[in-house]
Amino acid sequence: MADTFVVVGGDAAGMSAASKAKRDDPDLDVVVFERGEYVSYGACGLPYYVKGDIERLDDLVAVTPEEFREERDVDLRTGHEVVAIDREARRVTVEADGRTLEQPYDQLLVATGARATKPPVEGVDAEGVFTLRDMEAGGEIRSFVEETEPGTVGIVGGGYVGLEMAEAFDARGIDVHVFEMLPHVLQPFGEPVAEVVEEHLGEQGVTLHLDTPVSHLVTDAGRVVGVHAGGEETPVDFVLVGTGIRPNVELAAEAGIELGPTGAIAHDAYGRTNDERVFAAGDCAEATNLVTAEADYVPLALTANRHGRAIGQTVTGEPTEVGGMVGTAVVKVFDLEVARTGIIDGEEARDAGFDPVSATIRAESRAHYYPGGSPITIQLVGDGETGRLLGASMVGREGVAKRIDSVVTALHAGMTVAEVETLDLAYAPPFSPVWDPVLTAAKVLGGKLD
């Protein structure tokens, strides 16, 4: 009798693991339970669906449920929610269509993802208050915007989702107010980059309320009509809450699967939890930060896909490490590309045992004489004791999304700032000055580290 690999959760990590396991061992029974109707979709594309750049919601689906079942021979069951894990009996309890069933497993992957958080303020559950985390939410927001033609939106939170959605709503002619409790938007990107973004948002007509926590949402007859923050009330037609996500760990925790210091599921280098037959991956699980060599929680699409694929190989007899990450992210904010990687924050660096030294430069994206160039701001951070590169943040109208990758590569290699300065980066006037902005930033930081 063939072994059974059960996967809980049908998005990036879960379906990557299921597909890889079935490909490597066609005789393995692979069963996936997904409580929703969508699987293997690009949630990162939802703001652009709401904006209208992407016409159909289904365009975000990479592989349909039918393709998984018919072409990949995966026993995928949508509309099925796993409600309990019995590790001793090696089975899961599943609810679907008002009935309960049990499924035995030989090996199990918990890939339950994460959910959007809401601040504990009055009115947050009123009609007209949205979060954006899954396909259904994206569909609801776009339908609401198209059907009601609202004039003003209040966005609570100035992170990735909040700013991407600010652009989406602005494109639909909606007046946008962003409320951020911290002094700057995009907190993980650092102050120098955030200030450039804030100036650009103002130029686009977005009203920023910085260092302004929301005290409550104003409602009328159960519907949101305003945002009360900083002692003032801003009338709005609807609200988007983008204040972060929280890992879905309750199912695992109730089964005695250990959580790590971040609150997400802990696992070893192979994705295995404290139960050798149970793995965890994706937005419900921790990952190793290669800069600090410690467990971290930075939910990213590539990490989820990579970890799932590695676990798929491991369960079929080829032990494969899931690998670490350095927290790389890039976001489009109207006309700007904004990116970060590694450790930017000085306090975080000191907590990790480093002596952070930072340098910020502003350079042109192309040779000064070549038309079409624009400024790029780069903040580079290194360790004062060892000279090791710790992280970078950058912003500009062009060339940022790929330049960050050279820094990512340097972080994975554990390079020093001096070594980054000697990188043989590509040069041609339409793409870069002779001294690429990354090299210039390394030169300036290197001078501080000497």
Rounded to whole angstroms, how far apart are CA atoms 333 and 242?
15
The dihedral region occupied by 238, where left means phi > 0, alpha psi between -120 and 50, and beta the remainder, is: beta
Q: Three-state SS for 216? A: strand
Torsion of CA 417, 422, 426, 432, to 10 degrees: 60
Supply angle C-alpha 355, 357, 360, rounded to 5. Answer: 160
* Helices 437-449 and 400-413: angle between axes, nearest 10 degrees: 40
Q: How many CB atoms neighbour CB 368 within 10 A?
A: 9
Residue 389 and residue 415 in contact, taking contact as beta carbons nearer than 8 Å? yes
Torsion 418-419-422-427 (CA) sign: negative
Distances (CA, A) of 195 to 130, 156, 198: 27, 19, 5
77: left (phi over 0), alpha (psi -120 to 50) or beta: beta
What is the full DSSP assignment across 325-337? B---EEEEETTEE
C-alpha–C-alpha distance, residues 310 and 314, integer Å: 6
CA angle 138, 142, 143 (to 5 degrees): 115
Active site residues: 44
